Amino acid sequence: MRSLLASSLGKLSAALGWRGARGHTPGQSVPTARPDLLRRETLLTNSRILLAAGLIGMPFAIYDLIIGGLLPFILAMIALSAGVLTLALHERGNLDGAVSGQVYGMLLLGLVLTVADPAFADFGLAVALLAPVHASLLAPAAMKTRAWALLSAVVAFAAVATFGLLPWTMLYPTSYALVSALSFVVVAIVVSFTANRLNTTFDVYDRAQINAYRHLIEHVQDAVIRFSAEGEVLFTSRSSETLFGCRRYELSGGGLGERIHVLDRPLYLTAFADANMGGKARTIEVRMRRDDPNAAIKLPMFVWVEVALSPVLEGDHPEQRYEVVGLFRDITERKQHEVEMREARKTAEDANSAKSRFLATIGHELRTPLNAIVGFSEMMTTGIGGSLTPQHKEYAELIHGSGMHLLDVVRMLLDMSRLEAGKFELQTESFAPEGLVGPCVSIIEPLAREKQVTLKTDLRIGLPDVIADERACRQILINLLSNAVKFSNDGGQVVLSMWRQGQSLGISVKDNGIGMSTESLGRIGEPFFQVHDGLARRYEGTGLGLSIVKGLIDLHGGQLRAMSEPGYGTTITVLLPLNGPETRVGDTGVVTPLRREPQNQQQTTIWPEQKRKAL
């Protein structure tokens, strides 16, 4: 307690000299302008004022007590107790408690003074009225309400004392008017200091915020320009000098509008009108002139600028014009990247088109001599041109087999080039999907027998007809089966399944061969991609089979899914829509029903063998 009193007396002069924390007068900039620090420092100074008033008045109050006056001693004790208590609460960080102590002390001073004086309107009631004011400045909401409620109680006591029901029998050796006036002055000093300090510091805080925003605008990378409601330039940031290559004052008047490219001025004026008169934010991209102050000959150089125009919405009058704030950002580099990307995309598309034309041309050029090679080699193996020795017959069979292999490669290259060029046309018709299985399996059986692979089929009963290109579906099935057999181990098994899945036909080909990794599964459908690539690969092929399958499935509007695990085989699943490729809305008219069906009518059609599978 002794150290607390010594510290308070040591800073008493600063408190009574109307000086805030760290010796700053109210007219100066306060470094600690944060509201929380402001509240803490104001409470500390108020407690010191109450403590100083109690200490200064105590000797006179004791003298008055000796000669028979009790009122000054009570008032001095209230001020001294309020100061010590609130200082202790402040040191412990209980700021709400410190505010409550000061408010309660003021109310108690007012109560004692108003009871001591029989008049209703006296200094006591004035002191009590200052307590809710002080609470409204520093206290939380609950304390403000409580202060007004306690003031009502003080007013009630004042009314009772006015009718003589609370007589004060103590003598007044010292004038009552002097004591009550001094008490009012002390309380008024506390409240006035609080209000003045709050007002001054919040002004400094507001100015600091404005300076911070001004600093931000002046140093932001984008140019900031503010326009009046009439379209005049009111403010331009420092970054606008870098963007436009001129002084800020040169943008005033018509300087900014003259820098906009002639072809982009209608777009800019329309966007500005939308923000200025319509109150709508707009973002546009225009070309604007940038000057080079160091150039000997000033030639116009235009840069791409993104302009974001935002109206300053004030008032509720839709007819009025608004001030506009514009953000100007240099996007020339981004525009150049976009041009480079378009050129690169066009180059890639041209290269892809040239590749497709090359594949189509070379395919057609190779097919003619290959047909002759395959045909004559087949005639030689059958003995049409005369009998051959066993060795020559073996050579002819090798020529025939190699020619057939090349024909298959050429056929896949032609199909792939047509798919990439978008020239593969589907001839859709309705057919039974189970009719595809027999011919496709018979084509793959020789390859399966060579590798001792067993082919099995699992066809569900009651498969519906499907609308699709039968030749394309047969090619899908042959490619899937040939891939499964090729990558199966000797003595393995390949299972072909068909079922109905909702409005789609499900086809799956499952093998127990080498399988694929997760990375390889993500690349299924890429042209010329093979799991085992390189010169030392075990399996022949061009890597076009699955890419052709995926292209044909996409043309039908279907889906291709794959599940695999290295060493445990692969399952390829195809879902083809039963009603054929998706019909474009523009190809059909809108049919308006003549009779509206009831809303609660439910679908009663039951699809046979309908199942949902997670593939």
* Residue 288's pLDDT band (cuts 50, 70, 90): very high
Q: The tokens 């309400």 sit on which residue?
A: 145
pLDDT greater at residue 548 or residue 424: 548
The CATH architecture annotation of domain 338-421 reads Orthogonal Bundle (1.10)
Cα separation, 113 vs 117, in Å, equals: 6
Check residue 604 and give its pLDDT.
37
pLDDT exceeds 90 at position 116: no
Examine the pLDDT at 600 and tell me if it is beyond 70.
Answer: no
Supply the pLDDT for residue 341.
92
Q: Which residues contact 245 (CB under 8 A, 6 or more apart)?
A: 290, 291, 292, 293
pLDDT of residue 284: 93
Q: Quote the CA–CA distance of 20 and 483 in Å, as a whole number.
A: 88
Categorize the per-residue pLDDT at 395 as very low, low, confident or very high, splitting at 50, 70 and 90: confident
Tell me the pLDDT tens digit for each residue of 316-356: 555 678 889 999 999 999 999 999 999 999 888 888 777 77
The whole-number pLDDT of residue 564 equals 82
Band (17; pLDDT cuts 50, 70, 90): very low
Asked if 220 contacts 159 with a C-beta cutoff of 8 angstroms, the reply is no
Least confident of 22-31, 102-111, 413-422, 523-532: 22-31
pLDDT of residue 273: 92
- Say which residues have a Cβ less than 8 Å from residue 435's Cβ, sequence separation at least 6: none
42: enclosing H helix or E strand: helix 35-66
Domain 429-581 has CATH 3.30.565.10: yes
What is the band of 166 on the pLDDT scale with cuts at 50, 70, 90? low
Among 30-39, 107-116, 319-328, which stretch is predicted with the lowest mean pLDDT?
Answer: 30-39
**Structure confidence at residue 270 (pLDDT):** 93
Residue 529 confidence class, pLDDT cut points 50, 70, 90:
low
Residue 607 is predicted with a pLDDT of 38
Q: Is 35 exposed, middle or buried (0-12, 13-18, 19+ CB in 10 A)?
A: exposed
Q: What are the tens digits of pLDDT across the range 260-285?
A: 999 999 999 999 999 998 889 999 99
CA dist 133 and 193 (Å) reads: 12
Q: Are 565 and 507 in contact (CB under 8 A)?
A: no
Q: How far apart are the first and last CA of the chain?
A: 81
Q: Which residue has the higher pLDDT, 527 or 101?
A: 101
3-state SS class at 495:
strand
Higher pLDDT, 241 or 318: 241
Q: What's the mean pLDDT in 293-314?
A: 83
- Taking 70 as the threshold, does the pLDDT of residue 501 lie above it? yes
Phi-psi region of 245 (alpha: psi -120 to 50; beta: other; left: phi over 0): left
Instruction: Return the domain boundaries, the chain.
Output: 2-215, 221-330, 338-421, 429-581
**Cβ-contact 550, 524 below 8 angstroms:** yes
540: pLDDT strictly greater than 70: no
What is the per-residue pLDDT across 174-200, written as a single tens digit (0 to 9) for each?
Answer: 567 788 788 888 888 888 888 877 776
186, 53 contact by CB (below 8 A): yes
The predicted-structure confidence for 54-67, as pLDDT tens digits, reads as follows 888 888 888 877 87
pLDDT greater than 70 at residue 535 = no
User: Which superfamily does CATH assign the domain made up of 221-330 to?
Assistant: PAS domain (3.30.450.20)
pLDDT at 4: 39
Say whether pLDDT at 608 is over 60.
no
Spatial contact of 556 and 469, defined as CB atoms under 8 Å apart: yes
Residue 296 — pLDDT band, cuts 50, 70, 90? low
Tokens of 153: 């109680």
Q: What is the pLDDT of residue 113?
A: 81
Tokens standing for 347? 């180059």
Q: Is pLDDT at 153 greater than 70 in this prediction?
A: yes
DSSP letters of 313-325? --SS-TTS--EEE
Residue 580 has pLDDT above 90, yes or no: no
Q: Report the DSSP pairing between strands 569-577 and 504-511.
A: antiparallel
Highest mean pLDDT, choosing among 372-376, 425-429, 444-448: 444-448
Query: Does residue 299 carry a pLDDT above 60?
Result: yes
Task: Write out the E strands in 502-597.
Answer: 504-511, 559-565, 569-577
Q: Within 278-430, where are the H helices? A: 332-382, 390-421
Whether residue 309 is predicted with pLDDT greater than 80 in this model: the reply is yes
